[in-house]
Structure 1
Amino acid sequence: MALVERSMKRPVTVTMITVAALLFGAVSLSRLPLNLLPDITYPSLTIQTEYADAAPAEIEKLITEPLEEAVSVVPGLKLLRSVSRPGVSEITLEFAWKTNMDFAALDVREKIDLVNLPGDADKPVLLRYDPSLDPILRVGLSGDKDLVTLRYLGERVLKKDLESLEGVASVRIRGGLEEEIHVAVDEKKLAALGIPIRTVSDFLMNQNLNAAGGRLRDRDAEFLVRTTNEFENMDDIRQTVLFEEANRRVKLEDVASISRGYKEREVVSRVRGKDAVELAIYKEGNANTVQVARAVKARIEWLNKGFEDDVRADVLFDQSTFIEKSIQEVRSNAIVGGLLAVFVLFLFLKDRRSTAVISLVIPISILTTFFAMQQFGVSLNIMSFGGLALGVGMLVDNAIVVLEAINRHRTGGKSVWDATLDGASEVSRAVTASTLTTVAVFLPIIFVEGIAGQIFRDQALTVTASLVVSLIAALTLIPVLASVGSRARGPLHIDAGDGDTPESGDGATGPKTPAKPKRRLPGFVRVIAKPFQLLFAGIRFLLVWLGRFLAVLLPGTIFRILAIVFKILGRALDVVIRPVQAVFDRAWGFVARAYPSILESALTRPGRTLTLTLIVAALAIATVPRLGVELVPPFTQGEFAFDLELPPGTPLQKTADRVHELEKGLANDSEIGIYFTSVGESPDLGSARNQRRENIGQINIAV
């Protein structure tokens, strides 16, 4: 095969390409994002519209039906369903797979803008399902301070500080009490003055604003006029003039009492049964989950040192912990699998050099696969690591076949060069065909539609890339390593130039150009230049020997020391493996002796052999209905949650009291690490907004 021969004649090129591939793979490994699962996008959109204090019937008639009629003609729409609840309308649109959801969202927004909704209704919000929208961390801020102070610390300190970190997209806060100013109007006084209450409401709405006042131009300058009218304290609000006529001036404090208060609670958050403020941290789309989580946790620890002793921020939920454990487990399994594969190879080959040559294919293929993963946009996740672990055993198959063919030709009496070239070329078609058949099994998975295709795409690409790289390594690097120290057959030809014959020893002929006589410098110049010549000669001597030391002596000494160390370790390993090797040889000898008789019995009685095969196949098929069918096997992160829903119309406080009764039963359980609850809001996985109702609650428990 031409590829094998060219690789053997250019070992330096093959080595440099291998080193470059390893470097590219190492750099790509450091840049690959680390996630739990591949990016999963479901082709659906949700239109959420809020209409405060409206009944479900009015929601359906005034909001849901007009929106449904408008968006039902969007191209690619497969299914439309809606839910009308008190104060909220939700319309879910499901599209066909392979639909460009960016363009679909633009079409839906265009249709929504054409619908006339009630003036008091909020603007419809378009939500898109995406698991990456789930928070990677949940932090609880609790302590002995009042809920207003905790909310202030969360918004003014934690939120601003954490959002400045690289990779953090946003921080959302829920729970606690939000401070606001209450204006209690005395209706009797307003009636006596003849001022309608609507006037007070409109007056306060138009106050506390800064507005632009235009421009003033002078000969040499231009000034911007800005009207400042924001309240700075409670006295500014009290002294605000509400009504002025002739000599009568009515201030706001004359008809109302102003006091500090807080907004009506819509969400109640608790940590370990105590009221708290919860912060949900979201990462940017292309950020590494583990790195962002580490940076956030480090900053939280630093912020805790600046808080008072009675206030503390604790991590309630950490998505990166499960990701790190899962990835570490898959990585360790892949490493153990590779080591076991090398050990089994050594038991069969009984040669350290051959085993080392084949073992090089595993790290080279894996590191080069990381470069391919980055080019294809594949992240480090359970599926891609599973693909690497799956391919570790198959990576050495091609190398084993090539090296076995080379050894067979060498035992036949051929030289090292001839045996390597003939052996690798002989099996090149077979190993290429076997690799392509395996690739043909995995590669079509990337064309599968739906969530299954998105999940298993990374695994298919990873296995395919690693197998292709191992095939290239088996046909190029393995022959180069196997032929180290040998020479190519046939004489080495040197092409001469056009009509010129290079000098080749004493027999060289051809025209000689007479040498030009050297010009000698004057005597005084030679005397002056002599010290400089000696200095430059000394520097040249030092540089030459320094180069020899760094390029020849030092690497040679290091390699010699490493060779001695590996030789000692090899002998020590032989002593350890010798008992295992003896047991393996006996077992393999027994199998080798028993196999001919088993094969002869199967060939002489084909009817019985086929009958047993059919019985085993029938039993296997009979067990298929008993097997469960699911997309992804169930797994646990050591955390779970359960939702509570009371009858519609249940007040928030009653729902909170019911959840608190359940929390009391969790406080005395020693197996529970931490638990936190949310009342009035339930997070929807993969959604940018949470479901908010007064009669719902959620309890999250970490064991």
Structure 2
Amino acid sequence: MKLTDISIERPLGITMVILALVVLGLFALPRLAVDLYPEMELPIAAIITSYEGAAPAEVEKMVTKPIESAVATVSNVNEIRSYSQFGNSMVLVIFNWGTDVDAAVNDMRDKVDLIKGMLPDDAGTPMSLKMDPNTMPIIMFSVEGPDLVRLKTVAEDTIKPRLERIEGVASVSVTGGKEREIRVILDPAKMVTYGLSTAQVMQSIAGDNIAGSAGTIDIGSNELSIRVLGEYNKPDDLKNIRINLATGSSIALGDIATIEDSFKKNATISFMDGQPSLGLNIMKASDGNTVQVAEKVLREVDDLNKILPADTKIITVMDQSVFINDSISSVTEHGLLGALFAFLILYLFLRNLRSTLVVVIVIPISIIATFAMMYFGNQTINMLSLGGLMLGLGSLVDFSVVVLENIYRYRQNGYGIIDAAKQGSSEVGGAVIAAAMAQVLVFVPIIFVQGLAGVIFKPLALTVSFSHLAALFAA
């Protein structure tokens, strides 16, 4: 029995199926992640290593080259690029499209661990990172206050932990502010006079600046742990450090150097309205909903502003969710406007309000059913998926118009309602299915396109295909 015959002879059953699709779509809609662009996994990873004080040529020879040789043996590597700068090395590894980047990064990290011993002692631990566009900050805040030192303490001890506890927040980074640093400025003339080198002084400072466990002591039935507290907290502590001389005697560090309690040189400086401030960058989890996470963060910031000191404020500088909501609202508004124009054009030609409503009702049914298919297809609501939905909006009513017009023709020839519906829909059913499949097949190949184009346009192709299949079923 044909689907059209089932629809005509069992209207209640078909109505329940349509209602089930609508309910399923309405259930899926709030659970769809909302983002600006589709989720993109770029096959690119980076290995970043710090080597303070080293020139670019030295960084390339001692750090970059060994890391390049190690990661070259990782499978599915397409290209390796490296950048050696003053005190810093970055190796970019570009994999073939379709590679499981998480597994490749883990493999790459294992290879780098094998050559850690070959790197200079002063070099930092290589960090392996996956390039993910979704790790860009979704919200940027500015923290204002009179004292940048106290402000940074408040930001790191109070604000940052509370924001990182929010569901969907991956990390919070603090930029700007002042960080305490005790500087030891050596006197070159005295260093030469006493025959000392910078390495000797550094070794003496590091040898005394120790804190940690030193074992245990058994006292009767009790076991007590011993902890050494030898870290320096004040400049005067450094002045009294004794440095051994070649003559067998020693000299205090304060006699050959000036000790300053200062602040670390900032790599980044944040300003708000011309005044120094702190910057807070909020990164969401890879599977987080940008709009929902932003709403939770903003609510938490409102609560923080109430408990922070009166002279400290958290101000929103950039909120990606605002742009996403505006963009989606704009697309939705134009989609509704297009549906209204479709209704007016159909009424102008059909000249029958009842027939027009029968055709136009296909639009919301198709769109809501599309949301259900997007949910089960692991898609998100973004600019491209909504664009695909709006792209197929005009053609969603085409199938219904053809079926309805043919049924109307049979009615004009004297057929009854049931017979006209059966004959009219079955006569053009094959043509309508062929037309719908032709439009779907135009977009389906985009799903299999490799590279960045496939990642970007796959949601558009899927949405157009889903909406046309839903419209075909409704017709």
Select 1:128's aligned residue among 124, 127, 130. 130
Instruction: Determine which structure has greater relative contact order: mean sequence separation of CA pairs < 8 Å that are 6+ residues apart, divided by chain length.
Output: 2
CA RMSD of aligned residues (A): 3.1
Q: Deviations over 1:542-567 (max 9, x none)?
A: xxxxxxxxxxxxxxxxxxxxxxxxxx
Residue 92 of structure 1 is matched in structure 2 by 92
Q: Would you say the 8 A contact 1:56–1:85 is kept in 2?
A: yes
Residue 354 of structure 1 is matched in structure 2 by 355
Residue 277 of structure 1 is matched in structure 2 by 278
Residue 451 of structure 2 is matched in structure 1 by 450
Distance in structure 1 (CA, Å) of the matches to 2:225 and 2:235: 26
C-alpha deviation, 1:176, in angstroms: 0.7
C-alpha deviation, 1:95, in angstroms: 2.2
Distance in structure 2 (CA, Å) of the matches to 1:127 and 1:75: 17
Residue 559 of structure 1 is matched in structure 2 by none
Letter in 1 for 2:33: P
Distance in structure 1 (CA, Å) of the matches to 2:232 and 2:184: 16
Residue 8 of structure 2 is matched in structure 1 by 8
Are 1:343 and 2:347 an aligned pair?
no
Letter in 1 for 2:133: P
Residue 205 of structure 2 is matched in structure 1 by 201
Q: Would you say the 8 A contact 1:237–1:252 is kept in 2?
A: no
Q: Which runs of 5+ in 2 are unaligned?
A: 244-250
Distance in structure 2 (CA, Å) of the matches to 1:402 and 1:199: 88
Q: Deviations over 1:158-199 (max 9, x none)?
A: 2122112221111101111013556789999xx99x9x7456
Q: Which runs of 5+ in 1 are unaligned?
A: 244-249, 475-703
Distance in structure 2 (CA, Å) of the matches to 1:416 and 1:199: 98
C-alpha deviation, 1:436, in angstroms: 0.2
Distance 1:78 1:182, change over 3 A: closer
Residue 405 of structure 2 is matched in structure 1 by 404
Residue 50 of structure 2 is matched in structure 1 by 50
Alignment map for 1:2-401 (pairs within 5 Å): 2-115=2-115, 116-143=118-145, 145-180=146-181, 197=201, 200-206=204-210, 209-211=211-213, 213-214=215-216, 225=225, 227=227, 229=229, 261-401=262-402
C-alpha deviation, 1:470, in angstroms: 0.9
**In terms of mean alpha carbon deviation, does 366-375 or 74-83 score higher?**
74-83
* 1:337 match: secondary structure: helix
Distance in structure 1 (CA, Å) of the matches to 2:275 and 2:252: 42
Distance in structure 1 (CA, Å) of the matches to 2:159 and 2:82: 38
Distance in structure 2 (CA, Å) of the matches to 1:86 and 1:257: 27
TM (normalized to structure 2)? 0.87
TM (normalized to structure 1)? 0.60
Percent identity, please. Answer: 40
Distance in structure 1 (CA, Å) of the matches to 2:450 and 2:202: 58
Alignment map for 1:658-673 (pairs within 5 Å): none
C-alpha deviation, 1:282, in angstroms: 0.5
Q: Deviations over 1:196-244 (max 9, x none)?
A: 74564134431xx34274596988xx8673637387976996999989x
Q: Would you say the 8 A contact 2:235–2:259 is kept in 1?
A: no
Distance 1:380 1:226, change over 3 A: farther
CA radius of gyration, larger in:
1
Distance 1:204 1:264, change over 3 A: farther
Q: Would you say the 8 A contact 2:232–2:238 is kept in 1?
A: no
Q: Would you say the 8 A contact 2:350–2:356 is kept in 1?
A: yes
Distance in structure 2 (CA, Å) of the matches to 1:344 and 1:255: 91
Q: Would you say the 8 A contact 2:204–2:241 is kept in 1?
A: no
Q: Would you say the 8 A contact 2:138–2:294 is kept in 1?
A: yes
Q: How many pairs are equivalent?
A: 459
